[in-house]
Structure 1
Amino acid sequence: MVSIKDVAKKAGVSISTVSYALNGSDKVTDKTTAKIMAIANELNYVPNAAARSLKRQQTRNVGIFLTDFGGNFYGDLLQGVKEDLKQKGYALVVCSGTQSHRMLPERMIDGAIILDETFSNEELLKHADRGHKLVVLDRELNHPNINQVLLDNKAGAALAMEYLLEQGHDKIYAVSGPPGSYDSMRRLHAVRTIVERNKHLEYSEIAGDFDKPGGEAAAKQIAEEYARPVAVFCLNDEMAIGLYNYITTNTSLVIGEHIHLVGFDNIELTRYVQPRLATIDYSMRKWGALASEQLLKMLSGEPVDHERIYVSLVKGASVNPL
Structure 2
Amino acid sequence: MVSIKDIAKQAGVSISTVSYALNGSTKVTEETSARILAIAKELNYIPNAAARSLKKRETKIIGVFLTNYSGAFYGELLQGMSEALGAHGYELIVCSGKESHRFLPEGMIDGAVVLDQTFSSTDLLTFAERGHKLVVMDRELAHDNIKQVLLDNKAGATLAIEHFVENRHKKLYAVTGPNGSYDSQQRLEAVRQEVQRYPHVSYHEIQGGFDKQSGEKAAKRIIEEYTEPVGVFCLNDEMAIGMYNYLAKTDYQVGEHIHIMGFDNIELTQYTSPRLATINYSKRKWGALAAVQLLQLIQQKEVHNERIYVTLVEGESVSGK
Please give the range of the TM-score, normalised by the shorter of the 2 chains. over 0.9
Which residue in 1 is equivalent to 2:115? 115
Please list the CA deviations of residues 286-316 of structure 1 after superposition, one character each: whole Å capped at 9, or x if unmatched. Answer: 0000001111111111011110000000011
Which residue in 2 is equivalent to 1:143? 143
Which residue in 2 is equivalent to 1:39? 39
Between the aligned partners of 1:145 and 1:25, the Cα distance in structure 2 is 32
Between the aligned partners of 1:38 and 1:285, the Cα distance in structure 2 is 41
Which residue in 2 is equivalent to 1:153? 153
Which residue in 2 is equivalent to 1:305? 304
1:24 deviation in Å? Answer: 2.7
Between the aligned partners of 1:287 and 1:81, the Cα distance in structure 2 is 8
1:38 deviation in Å? Answer: 2.9
Between the aligned partners of 2:47 and 2:304, the Cα distance in structure 1 is 38
Could you say what secondary structure the match of 2:65 adopts?
strand
Between the aligned partners of 1:231 and 1:44, the Cα distance in structure 2 is 64
Percent identity of equivalent pairs: 65
1:49 deviation in Å? Answer: 0.7
Specify the code of the residue in structure 1 equivalent to 2:14. Answer: S
Please list the CA deviations of residues 246-266 of structure 1 after superposition, one character each: whole Å capped at 9, or x if unmatched. Answer: 0012x1011111011100000
Specify the code of the residue in structure 2 equivalent to 1:242. Answer: G
Larger CA deviation: 23-32 vs 181-190: 23-32
Report whether the alignment pairs 1:239 with 2:239. Answer: yes
Which residue in 2 is equivalent to 1:131? 131
Larger CA deviation: 36-45 vs 81-90: 36-45
Larger CA deviation: 12-21 vs 89-98: 12-21
Please list the CA deviations of residues 218-267 of structure 1 after superposition, one character each: whole Å capped at 9, or x if unmatched. Answer: 01111111111000000000000000110012x10111110111000000
Between the aligned partners of 1:25 and 1:277, the Cα distance in structure 2 is 59
Structure 2: any 5+ residue segments left out of the alignment? Answer: none
1:148 deviation in Å? Answer: 0.6
Alignment of 1:245-256 (within 5 A): 245-249=245-249, 251-256=250-255
Between the aligned partners of 1:42 and 1:314, the Cα distance in structure 2 is 58
TM value normalised by structure 2:
0.98
Specify the code of the residue in structure 2 equivalent to 1:196. Answer: Q
Specify the code of the residue in structure 1 equivalent to 2:88. Answer: K
Please list the CA deviations of residues 50-98 of structure 1 after superposition, one character each: whole Å capped at 9, or x if unmatched. Answer: 0101100111001100000101000000000000000000000110000
**RMSD over equivalenced CA pairs, Å:** 1.0
Between the aligned partners of 2:220 and 2:238, the Cα distance in structure 1 is 16
Report whether the alignment pairs 1:9 with 2:2. Answer: no
1:170 deviation in Å? Answer: 1.0
Equivalent residues, number: 321
1:33 deviation in Å? Answer: 1.8
Between the aligned partners of 1:165 and 1:16, the Cα distance in structure 2 is 73
Which residue in 2 is equivalent to 1:103? 103
Report whether the alignment pairs 1:273 with 2:272. Answer: yes
Between the aligned partners of 2:46 and 2:247, the Cα distance in structure 1 is 58
1:9 deviation in Å? Answer: 2.5
Could you say what secondary structure the match of 1:134 adopts?
strand
Between the aligned partners of 2:50 and 2:263, the Cα distance in structure 1 is 42
Specify the code of the residue in structure 2 equivalent to 1:297. Answer: Q
Please list the CA deviations of residues 88-109 of structure 1 after superposition, one character each: whole Å capped at 9, or x if unmatched. Answer: 0000011000000000000110
Could you say what secondary structure the match of 2:94 adopts?
strand
1:44 deviation in Å? Answer: 3.3
Which residue in 2 is equivalent to 1:51? 51
Could you say what secondary structure the match of 2:273 adopts?
coil
Report whether the alignment pairs 1:176 with 2:143. Answer: no
Between the aligned partners of 1:45 and 1:305, the Cα distance in structure 2 is 42
Could you say what secondary structure the match of 2:196 adopts?
helix
1:14 deviation in Å? Answer: 1.8
Alignment of 1:12-27 (within 5 A): 12-27=12-27
Which residue in 1 is equivalent to 2:294? 295
